[in-house]
Structure 1
């Protein structure tokens, strides 16, 4: 029996006996990639005997999870239609030109709209107006992505809260969990730099961090508070504000782990569980298995994720890839969303959908051409496949930059890509062993943990429930007003009364 299996068995013995907990899990954000992590946690909770009520825009009903699983299916709020209208874009490919600050405000906009949309749905209204709420659930599980209105269900049902950051990390976690983020070496998630910043990068990091904090205080929090008041004012004599609700968060699961995230300060209740969605590889569909097995010189896997569609590329961009692929000895497996791709070279196979993690686990796959999404980067590192990164928006740029810094990735800019640049990058990754060596080291670090990612998440869920919210994990900083949190009151006293202060020393 493998050590991981033994540990899992022990955890089930310690925490899986008796009646399971009753967990309410409202996940409002209709972005499919985020549910790779969310769905994995929900399945595991049900498997371990917990009763889960899952509020989701993406159904798990076909999986027949059993009597412990209750699903509340939300209508699908179309985030990309909303973004396209605001940004006047025709596809996600156009997001490559969106400025960092605009991308941050777009993320907030999506959160606000999807929260308002979800709370208005009849099934959510039934939960909001249900009688005898206290004692019905033991835990609220929510996503930490601008859907703070969901925290009101924790307030109404009087249960502790665990949030899940599917995007790994954000600088506003500093105020949320009561610690100071050192901006000298912790870059903002929207900046394309690593923890080794130049003077100008540190200056930009401070400026965008300050802008984010002020924008949250002056615009975002009031907008989220207005949504909450809209749906709960008739129910409560006094509706708590978002900042009060956030103080009820017992722990947060971060979709990160070394070395994909650089070292930084964290509190006891910030738990790194990156990669928990990765399962042991399954055998591939026959035609895909054969295509890769027979790749004498190895294979390249090409996918831009669930939001960015290769099929939306203009003909001149597609011809660049087809021209380079035709000259390679390697086979190319490409997730391409249309039925046909003209002038397809004999060494290239396209499919509308592909089991990405299982493909990356195949020993013949030598390079992953990717957009730099966090889940894909985790899978690449887990299976030790070097990356050719072509980022478009949000955290993709810093994810690729982290890989470049660690020496297991090369980056290309989609806007000025050429056959020469693409061929040069692929040749370097395929012929220079340093990229595979560096990726092997990164993979070993990513896999080397005292407890597996999923078992870690399950342990802390049980812990928070057992300790009734585990308030001893929460730093006192969450209860301080901002001027005390940053010691501005102390600075003021020192500045205006330094004679008396230094007389006390």
Structure 2
């Protein structure tokens, strides 16, 4: 073998870098299983690719999976079946209906129970030893559900977790989600999550949508964020930044929407639509095409400079 060939081979070996797995923490603190079913395929795919995934949720795996570690939250709150009280629609208040406010009032009260649930779960999270132990480790990226609570963001700050944070949204964006990544939510044409339509054209629709947009932001701010911050500070005897400020440090959002169904909206690179991420393809289709999940994973993690 000629000397230059030996050098070429040596340089080839030197240029090869070992693939390294990422250490990933996912905190999914909502008791509704429909939310977890959206995120579970992503967690499993990350573990399947060789990454170490630690998942704190109310739905631990029944069978152990390689590279997948569960932190069960079952002891801090009861897992609920998600239900809708149809009597609100069948038996509307006559006075409110006569004023044309039935739809507005129905949407206002739809989210009320979620703040009480968030505070109960947060009170349990701050006193859960397995989660405290997990938060003391080092991570390359943290995945957190963005729904009715920001308690996990406060805990990350308390334990000094400095990894990039990716927010996961199981459905359309919530009214308090837009500002976290600087996304416009002009109520004149962007409907609230409880809206009955994906397009707003009439003046009264815009008026109602504007009022709901403002209400939901104030509700989440004072019924959830402020109280969760107080729970964390009482537990750890330390002051923490406003949860709304911590929420704006997220690196990106994965949202379970798709423009053909949810309407065209102005987006930013920090928001990736992964609508249908949880839908499993047929086995014969999966063999010949790239699955949906890996593509979403590559887009999201690479943006945070963590190659999956």
TM-score of the pair, normalised by structure 2? 0.78
Q: In structure 2, what is the equivalent of residue 75 of structure 1?
A: 74
Q: What is the CA-CA distance between 1:32 and the residue it aligns to?
A: 0.8
Cα separation, partners in 2 of 1:279 and 1:157, compared to 1, 3 Å: same
Alpha-carbon separation, structure 2, partners of 1:93 and 1:240:
35
CA contact (8 A) 2:155 2:232 kept: no
Cα separation, partners in 2 of 1:280 and 1:53, compared to 1, 3 Å: same
1:49 aligns with 2:50: yes
Alpha-carbon separation, structure 2, partners of 1:226 and 1:168:
28
Q: 1:111 aligns with which of 102, 106, 118?
A: 118
Q: In structure 2, what is the equivalent of residue 173 of structure 1?
A: 177
Q: What is the CA-CA distance between 1:96 and the residue it aligns to?
A: 5.0
CA contact (8 A) 2:172 2:193 kept: no
SS at match of 1:65: coil
Cα separation, partners in 2 of 1:255 and 1:96, compared to 1, 3 Å: farther
Q: What is the CA-CA distance between 1:106 and the residue it aligns to?
A: 2.2
Q: In structure 2, what is the equivalent of residue 148 of structure 1?
A: 150
Alpha-carbon separation, structure 1, partners of 2:141 and 2:241:
19
Q: 2:302 aligns with which of 452, 460, 463?
A: 463
Higher-RCO chain (CA-CA 8 Å, sequence separation at least 6): 2
Q: In structure 1, what is the equivalent of residue 97 of structure 2?
A: none
CA contact (8 A) 1:168 1:256 kept: yes
Hey, which bits of structure 1, 4+ residues long, moved more than 6 A?
none
Deviation by residue 1:238-263 (Cα, 9 ceiling, x = unmatched): 42220121122000100011312111
CA contact (8 A) 2:55 2:70 kept: yes
SS at match of 2:259: coil
Alpha-carbon separation, structure 2, partners of 1:198 and 1:207:
15
Q: Which runs of 5+ in 1 are unaligned?
A: 1-15, 82-90, 284-450, 469-505
Q: What is the CA-CA distance between 1:93 and the residue it aligns to?
A: 5.0
Q: What is the CA-CA distance between 1:42 and the residue it aligns to?
A: 0.6
Q: Which runs of 5+ in 2 are unaligned?
A: 1-16, 90-105, 285-289
Matches within 5 A, 1:114-129: 114-127=121-134
Alpha-carbon separation, structure 1, partners of 2:20 and 2:164:
18
Deviation by residue 1:345-379 (Cα, 9 ceiling, x = unmatched): xxxxxxxxxxxxxxxxxxxxxxxxxxxxxxxxxxx
Q: What is the CA-CA distance between 1:110 and the residue it aligns to?
A: 2.4
TM-score of the pair, normalised by structure 1? 0.49
Deviation by residue 1:140-190 (Cα, 9 ceiling, x = unmatched): 111001221112344322111001000221222232221321212111111
Rg: which structure is higher?
A: 1
Alpha-carbon separation, structure 1, partners of 2:149 and 2:275:
21
Deviation by residue 1:61-86 (Cα, 9 ceiling, x = unmatched): 41x321x22111121522649xxxxx
Q: In structure 2, what is the equivalent of residue 58 of structure 1?
A: 59
Alpha-carbon separation, structure 2, partners of 1:60 and 1:79:
15
Q: In structure 1, what is the equivalent of residue 8 of structure 2?
A: none
Alpha-carbon separation, structure 2, partners of 1:28 and 1:218:
20
Deviation by residue 1:98-135 (Cα, 9 ceiling, x = unmatched): 7211112223332232222233223123345x4xx4xx
CA contact (8 A) 1:154 1:161 kept: no
